[in-house]
Amino acid sequence: MAYALKRIGYAVLIMFLASLVTFAALRIAPGSAVTAILDPARTPPDVIERYKEELGLNLPIWQQYLHYMSGVLRGDFGTSLFDRRPVIDLIAEAAMYTVVLALAAFVLAFGLGVPAGVLSALHRGSWFDRIVRWFTSALMSIPNFVLALLLVAILGVKWKLLPVSGASAPINLVLPAIVLAADPWSLTTRVTRTAVVEQLGADFTRTLRARGVSRQSIHWRHVLRNALSPVVSLGSVQIRTLLGYTLIVEVIFRWPGLGSQLVQAILKRDYPVASALALLLALVVVIASTVGDLLLRAVDPRIRSSKEVVA
């Protein structure tokens, strides 16, 4: 319990620093909020000054930060420089799409990856194992946007089986989810396979076998349980990777989620939107890694006794 509190405190510290980063991103950005709206060459200086005052840009930087954070905590991320709408509305619109896409990919990656890895390990050297290993290494070498273009070309343009852009119907989810899941699926399968193989060769497995414990019982009660912890710790890392990949995948498939919104915001230099999205993604990643760490200690008692890096 004490560990859990420490870990959560640490997560809060990381989030605070991450918010400093996104705040700085907002301020350092070339073309401040003022010059993005008013042309400095044509606007009289006193108008610019007045506007700065209105936005609170003449205050000391720490007061600006406090102002920014008090807004953020109330869900006010400012307004988009582009269409003057509240950033929070834009995020709310897009968030659902990204959550659905990322969840679908996560379920695909783990739902198919863990069984594939376990089967592959239990039947090491079989044709299934060989196919899985070949397939995973192929998928891990193809950059996901290349895979996306190939699938679009074959399934979308040539055979016209699946829609390749937009989010008008549930079937639009299929291609982006597959592309997003491809890399995490390969990694999950690999890690699961390695973990299970390692446990199958462990001393305790040999002892159990020598004592006449049935194969089924060894596999399901002992090996899989012990192989769980690397898979769990992979899960929280995967969320970060998935969120990173959504940027590219959403753009390719014109999926109207947070990723394509972020890329749009950056290309249009809409800093309030960009920094709000960055902060939001950072929050998700920090929460995921905290939950992952806590979960890991729950499933693997060995970690509890080992020394922590921080805290």
Partner 1 sequence: MATNLASMAVEAPASRRARRRIGGVTISAWVGVVTLAVAAIAGLIVLLVPSLRHLWTAQDLRSTFLGPLSPGHPLGTDNLGRDLLWRTLAGLGVSAGVGVGVALLAVSLGLMVGIIGGFFGRAADVATNVVIDVTWAFPAILLAVLFAGWLGPGLLTVVLALALTEWAGFSRIIRGEVLSLRERDYVSAARVLGRGRVAISLRHFVPNLMPVTMVLAVYFVAVAIVAEAGLSFLGLGAQPPMPSLGSALAQGRDYLTRTWWPVILAGGVLTLTVLLLNSVSDQLREHFDPRIGRRR
With CB under 8 A as the contact rule, the residue among 72, 247, 276, 296 that binds partner 1 is 247
Cα–Cα dist 154/177, whole Å: 16
- List the one residue out of 134, 113, 144, 129 whose CA is nearest residue 232: 113
The pair of three-digit structure tokens given for residue 178, joined into one six-digit string: 């597959």
With CB under 8 A as the contact rule, the residue among 200, 274, 276, 296 that binds partner 1 is 274
How many residues sit close enough to partner 1 to count as binding (CB under 8 A)?
Answer: 46
The pair of three-digit structure tokens given for residue 37, joined into one six-digit string: 């709206």
- List the one residue out of 195, 101, 178, 114 whose CA is nearest residue 142: 178
CA-atom Rg of the chain in angstroms: 24
The answer to the question of residue 232 lying near partner 1 (CB under 8 A) is no
Strand partners, 86: 79
With CB under 8 A as the contact rule, the residue among 66, 103, 107, 146 that binds partner 1 is 146
The answer for residues whose C-beta is within 8 angstroms of residue 65's C-beta and 6 or more apart is: 20, 23
The answer to the question of residue 81 lying near partner 1 (CB under 8 A) is no
Give me the least distance between CB of 301 and partner 1, in Å please: 22
Q: Which is nearer to partner 1, 149 or 213 (CB)?
A: 149
The answer to the question of residue 8 lying near partner 1 (CB under 8 A) is no
With CB under 8 A as the contact rule, the residue among 271, 272, 293, 296 that binds partner 1 is 271
User: CB under 8 A: which stretch of 60-68, 78-86, 106-114, 264-272 binds partner 1?
Assistant: 264-272
Q: Return the SS3 of 40.
A: coil
Cα–Cα dist 125/136, whole Å: 15
Cα–Cα dist 235/248, whole Å: 21
Give me the least distance between CB of 47 and partner 1, in Å please: 27
Chain residues that interact with partner 1, rule: CB under 8 A: 10, 13-15, 17-18, 21, 25, 28-30, 141-143, 145-146, 149-150, 152-153, 157, 240-241, 243-245, 247-248, 251-252, 262-263, 266-267, 269, 271, 274-275, 278, 281-282, 285-286, 289, 309-310
